[in-house]
Structures are given as structure tokens and as C-alpha cells.
Amino acid sequence: MQAGFWQRGLGILNETRLVAKQLQQKSEDSRLIKEARRALIDYLGCVLQARKEPKVQEFGRLWQQEGGKVNSLLGLHTTPERAALINGFAAHYLDFDDVQANFRGHPSAVIYSALLAIAPPSSQVRQVLQAFIAGVELAGKLGLALNPDHTVQGWHSTATIGTIAATGALCNLANASVDQTTRALSFATSQASGMSFQNGTDAKPLQAGLAARNAVTAFILSQSRGSFTANEDSLQFWGATLGFNETSFSLLGNDWYQPGQINKPGLWFKVHPFCSAALSGYEAAKMLWNKGVRWSDCVQVVVHYPPNGDRALNQQWPQTGQESKFSIEFIIWQVLKFGDVKDADFTARFVDSQFKIDVAKIVRKHDLATTSATKRPTLVETVTRRGIVKQLVVMPLGSPNRSLSSEKLQEKLLMVLPKEKVAALVDLIVKKEAVLQEIYWLIQ
């Protein structure tokens, strides 16, 4: 592998330039654009939900700059880099945002946050959607080359792969040349970092914000008349440093939009603000509740996963609401005790004191077969006084094969905007000639 790596690095096969050429394409595929619209609706719902949170408001004030020309989605004027930082932090703060399976990260929180910080208000919404599709394509292909090892090692793909994917999206939006895009991707690799040990803290959404900010920085550097230099095959060296799959990495520049990473494996959307790795376990617990299983009857609860299937759920004994977003124990306990989760508890300062006692009954096992990235098998086994009751869920509601309806997707917006504004906003996103400024007028 090393010989091939160095040959590519010497320019015999430049994957970065091949990717830069692919980023010249703007997809006109109606299926891909439809999914990008759904992602934008969901993204705006996540940001608008989060902007009422005290931490998000404080974060925005920290980075507000008087005289700044760019308006972040929090309504604060600042610089493009800071707007991307604020947007990304807000979009990912509640962990309510979308996920892509190959990427194993949150595409909209980084890519749309960067795009909306750079795109002039006069930009057509359709151009932003096309750039988003390009960014998701790159994120998914990089994810195929690096995952699952990348995330298992503890990297936060939203921050690592996301920085590069958002940079590619910005280049697509700006119609950057192949040379400019090649340099931009190189600048992005020098800034792409983030670790999953921050799950359950404010540093996790910070990493999404930093990724969006760093993408903007990489893009601006590549557009400079000073022609700042950077290694022109950066993706190959970056990937080799992190331990890429050489076969998948060699396909980075091939078969773009066929059928499109945004559609296959597709995007996951959430109805509750907790980690998507818990969706199958949550749904299994709901089904057990509907079968009559109650926490008071449980002697033990065993949650079965494939190896590393619960890697992101690193909070077995959460102390705060924020930590409980990454705790399958807390989520299952809530469902079997109350019939469903309480979204407000995921922002509470402390978890319910009774949970700290009850959590000892819940154990995890890693004895399910490993499957494809589009499936998240979780088996919840309840040992009750009346016997054992089990429930397996492989593809939960919100996964690409059981996608949320348009009405369900709009519920996040309906929590913060009047029904008439939500309808107008959705119409604008669908309208081919709509511009970003029209969206900003509705949400500010």
C-alpha cells in the first residue's frame, strides 16, 4: 500500500485533482435536489430551534462583530468565517440534525452552515442546493474510504471529513476553477480535526462550527490573488495518514451522482434531539411499551448491538441532559417508564435522580452480526417477572428506507414559526427562482 501511496503523492495519480474536476459538476437530478430541499428544511428547523437556547445565544454574542457584513442565522452581523462558526454551532447544538451513513457524520450542520455564510443573499436557493449535493457526495465518498475505522478510532467525522466536504461545496457554489478547488481542498485537510470524546459536551457542536469556519477559511485562501500554495494531492496524503481504504480511496473521483450519496445510502432525519445511533433502540423500546412492557416489571434490560454499533453512544451513566443524548440507557429507561422520551430532559442540567438508581438494570452486549451502513440493528431484550420479551429494529423511522413524511419533517419549523410562515418557507425552497434573501426575511 505504501508504494502506491507514494506514487500517487508524486503525481502519477492525483486523486485530489480528479475530485476537483468532479466538483465542477452541478447536479440537475430532480431526485437529488428534492432530498437537498428536505435537508435544508430540516437544517433551518434545527437552527431555529437552537437559537433560543442560552448557550447558543451566548456563543453568537462572543463572535458577533460590529460592522460585519455577513448575517448569521442568529441575526448577528459578523465576518463570513464567524457566521459559519455560529451557524454550525447552532445547527448541531441540539443534536437534532441529519446524518449520512457512509460519512457517519452530520452533513447539513457543516455544509449548509458554510454555504449560507458565503453565498450572497441574492444567490438562488437552487444553486445552494446543488452545492450541498456536491458536498454530501464528497463526504459520502470520503466516508467510504475511511470508515468504519475512522470513527472507531475516535475521530468525529462531522469535523474531519465535514471540513473537506464543506470546502468542496463552497467551490461548487462559486464555480471555482480546478486549480482553485485543488488548493482549497488542501487547505481544508490542514484544518480537519475533531474527536468523539467530546460527545455530550458543548465542544461537540463547536467542532461542527469549527469545521464550517475552517471550510470558509480554506475557500477564501484559494480565491486569493496571492495564490497561496499547498500540496496538490492533499487528499491522498491526508487519507494515508488517517489509514484510508486504498481501494475505496482510488474511487474518489469516479461515478459522481450515480446514484448520488444524498440518495444512496441517503440521509437520516430525526424526530427527537438525540444521537441517531440510538434510533433503533428507541423504536424497539416504544414497541415493547406498546406490547405492555413497563419499567416497573423489568428485572433486567439487555441492549444488543453489532460490534461498535453503539460507538457514538459513549454515555452509559450520564449526569446531564446533554450527556443523555448519547445514552441508550437513558433513552430506553424514559420510554419504558413514561411511554416516550421527554425532549426537555435532553437539555436539563441534571438527569432524573431515579435513573441513576435504575440504570444498573441495563446492560449492553455486542453479539449481533455486522451489517451495511444503511442499517442499524438493535435488539432490546427485557427480562420481566412474566418472562422475556424481545424486540429487534433494523431500519428505524427516519432512516432512508423509512423516511419521514414532508409533514413530519416540517414539525421542527412549526415549533418555532407560525404555520403560514412555514408554508411560505417551504414554497420558497421548492421555487426554482427563489433567492436566499427571501428565506432570511421569513426567519429573522
What is the residue-wise DSSP string for 354-408? HHHHHGGGEEEE--SPP--TT---EEEEEEETTEEEEEEESS-BTBGGGPPPHHH
Beta bridge partners of 70: 78
> Which pTM does this prediction carry?
0.94
pLDDT at 278: 97
- CA–CA separation, 167 and 408 (whole Å): 31
Q: For residue 430, how many other CB atoms are within 10 A of its CB?
A: 14
pLDDT at 71: 76
Q: For the packed helices 178-189 and 160-173, what is the interaxial angle rounded to 10 degrees?
A: 160
**What phi and psi values does residue 256 have, to the nearest 5 degrees?**
-70, 140
Q: Which of 407, 380, 410 is nearest to 288 (CA)?
A: 380
Q: Which of 216, 319, 336, 241 is nearest to 281 (CA)?
A: 336
- CA–CA separation, 321 and 346 (whole Å): 4
CB 138, CB 20: distance < 8 Å = no
Q: For residue 344, how many other CB atoms are within 10 A of its CB?
A: 9
The predicted-structure confidence for 114-170, as pLDDT tens digits, reads as follows 999 999 999 999 999 999 999 999 999 999 999 999 999 999 999 999 999 999 999
The predicted-structure confidence for 36-48, as pLDDT tens digits, reads as follows 999 999 999 999 9
Domains, in order of start, for the chain: 2-268 (1.10.4100.10), 276-393 (3.30.1330.120)
pLDDT at 67: 67
- CA–CA separation, 262 and 400 (whole Å): 10
- CA–CA separation, 437 and 440 (whole Å): 5
Helix (H) or strand (E) holding 298: strand 298-304
Residue 113 cell numbers, joined: 452552515
pLDDT at 248: 72
User: What parts of the chain have a pLDDT lower than 50?
Assistant: 1-12
- CA–CA separation, 239 and 288 (whole Å): 43
pLDDT at 66: 66
pLDDT at 10: 42
